[in-house]
């Protein structure tokens, strides 16, 4: 996809996040790899007012090019894409159920086999740090080690993928899992699948590339 197409797709992704209830207002942010850098949503601009020219080009060194300043969360977007060549798109949302778990600093354990679509046996929750800080970015990279999604304590969630479509798909899956886990916690303590069971699912997921195929 060319640059104009990527800029338009970022906006469509943002609008889809809010329309689906994955995000609210101007919260959250979206980026996609482009050349030696990335394209990212601008800071403090309503998604329904964005035009392709409002999307910011950010170089890996941290310098921005465009009409606006990049999202205040640009550091973890930049750092994820720099550290993970298997990831081309990053979606950050304040999805309700994922954020409720994050308020308790709760990861999503192996309560459902679909947890594995995020890359491992659980979906980690990284420690709290001020939004936009390098400290938060460092925590996020640790939580995403061998993973494609994580929660951020007292903040929200991040989902990544080979494309914006895949990142958004995974964000929806993480929010669904968070909702299911939250609901189960209202009844009792859900039983988790064993490591052996999760290893079997992970192996099968790699074969079918469930939800993350190109």
Residues annotated as part of the active site = 73
The residue assigned the tokens 């990212």 is 40
In DSSP notation, the chain reads --HHHHHHHHHHHHHHHHHTTS--TT--EEEEEETTEEEEPBTT--GGG--GGGSEEEETTS-EESSSPBPTTHHHHHHHHHH-TT--EEEEE--HHHHHHHHTT--B-SSSGGGGGGTSSSB-EEPP--TT-HHHHHHHHHHTTT-SEEEETTTEEEEEESSHHHHHHHHHHHHHHHHHHHHHHHHS-PPPPPHHHHHHHHHHHHHHTTTT--
Q: How many CB atoms lie within 10 A of CB 38?
A: 25
For the beta carbon of residue 194, count every other beta carbon within 10 angstroms. Answer: 11
């Amino acid at each position: 996809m060319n640059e104009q197409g990527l800029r338009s797709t970022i906006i469509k992704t943002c609008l889809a996040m809010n329309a689906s209830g994955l995000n609210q207002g101007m919260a959250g942010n979206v980026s996609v790899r482009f050349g030696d850098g990335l394209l990212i949503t601008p800071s403090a601009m309503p998604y329904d007012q964005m035009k392709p020219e409002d999307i910011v080009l950010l170089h890996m060194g941290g310098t921005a090019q465009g009409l606006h300043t990049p999202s205040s969360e640009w550091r973890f977007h930049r750092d994820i894409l720099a550290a993970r060549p298997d990831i081309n798109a990053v979606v950050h949302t304040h999805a309700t159920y994922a954020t409720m778990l994050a308020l308790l600093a709760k990861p999503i354990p192996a309560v459902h086999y679909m947890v594995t679509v995020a890359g491992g046996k659980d979906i980690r929750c990284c420690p709290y740090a001020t939004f936009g800080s390098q400290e938060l970015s460092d925590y996020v990279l640790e939580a995403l080690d061998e993973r494609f999604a994580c929660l951020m304590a007292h903040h929200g969630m991040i989902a990544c993928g080979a494309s914006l479509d895949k990142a958004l798909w995974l964000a929806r899956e993480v929010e669904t899992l968070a909702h299911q886990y939250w609901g189960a916690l209202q009844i009792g303590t859900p039983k988790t699948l064993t490591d052996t069971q999760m290893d079997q699912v992970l192996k099968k997921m790699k074969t079918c590339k469930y939800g993350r195929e190109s």
